[in-house]
Amino acid sequence: MIKICLPSRFELELLEALAPLQERTGRIYEVYGALTRSRLGSGRPARRVSQVGGEPSFADLKRFAERAHALGIRVNYLMNGALIDLREYDRAGQQALIAQLEQIAEAGVDMVTVAVPYLIEAVRAAAPELPVSVSVIAGVESPQALRHLEALGATRVQVAEDANRDFELLGALSAGAQAELSLIVNNGCLRCCGFRRYHDVLCTQASQERDGTERYIDYPLLRCSALRARDPVQLLRSPWIRPEDLSFYHERFGIELFKIAGRQLPTERIVRIATAYAELRHEGNFIDLLATPAVDFRRHPMTAEIAQQRGAERFAPPALYIDNARLGRLTAAIHARGGCALARDCESCRVCDEMAPRLIGADPPGAEQAEALEELLSELAAGRWSADVRPGAPAKAL
Tally the C-alpha atoms within 13 A of residue 80's C-alpha that lie toward its C-beta.
Answer: 25
Is residue 172 within 8 A of residue 141, CB to CB? The reply is no
pLDDT score of 321 more than 80 = yes
Q: Is residue 223 part of a domain?
A: no
- What does the pLDDT read at residue 397? 40
pLDDT of residue 386: 87
Residues of the chain with pLDDT > 70, as a percent, come to 92
Contact present, 351 and 337 (Cβ < 8 Å): yes
What span, in angstroms and rounded, lies between the C-alpha atoms of 331 and 354? Answer: 13
Residue scoring higher pLDDT (368 or 150): 150
Burial bucket for residue 305 (CB in 10 Å: 0-12, 13-18, 19+): exposed
In a domain, 162, yes or no: yes
Residue 395: which pLDDT band, with cuts at 50, 70 and 90?
Answer: very low
Which pLDDT band, with edges at 50, 70 and 90, does 227 fall under?
very high
Q: Considering the domain boundaries, does residue 363 fall inside one?
A: no
Higher pLDDT, 142 or 56: 142
**pLDDT higher than threshold 90 for residue 203:** no
Separation of alpha carbons 320 and 343, rounded Å: 29
> Which is nearest to 315 in space by CA: 298, 300, 301?
298
Q: How far apart are CA 398 and CA 395, in angstroms?
A: 9
- Model pLDDT, residue 162: 94
pLDDT of res. 210:
67
Closest C-alpha among 219, 178, 163 to residue 196: 219
Q: Which residues contact 376 (CB under 8 A, 6 or more apart)?
A: 222, 303, 306, 385, 391
**Among residues 382, 224, 235, 222, which one has the least CA distance to residue 306?**
222
Per-residue pLDDT band at 292 (split at 50, 70, 90) = confident
- The pTM for the full model equals 0.93
The continuous run of DSSP H or E covering 184 comes out as strand 180-184
Give pLDDT tens digits for 357-383: 999 987 778 889 999 999 999 999 999
Confidence of residue 393 (pLDDT cuts 50, 70, 90): low
CATH number of the domain residue 281 falls in: 3.20.20.380
Which three-class secondary structure string do you get for 269-291? HHHHHHHHHHCCCCCCEHHHHCC
| Total number of residues shown for the chain | 398
Decide if 222 is inside a domain.
no
On the question of pLDDT at 53 being above 80, the answer is no
Q: Tell whether 264 is covered by a domain.
A: yes
Query: What proportion of the chain, given as a percentage, has pLDDT over 90?
Result: 69
Report yes or no on 307 lying in a domain. Answer: no
DSSP string covering 5-23: EEE--S-HHHHHHHHHHHH
Q: What is the pLDDT of residue 212?
A: 57
- Residue 265 lies inside a defined structural domain of this protein: yes
Could you list the residue range(s) of the whole structural domain that residue 49 is in? 3-216+237-292
**The pLDDT of residue 398 is above 50:** no
Examine residue 148 and state whether it is found in any structural domain, yes or no: yes
Overall number of domains in the chain: 1
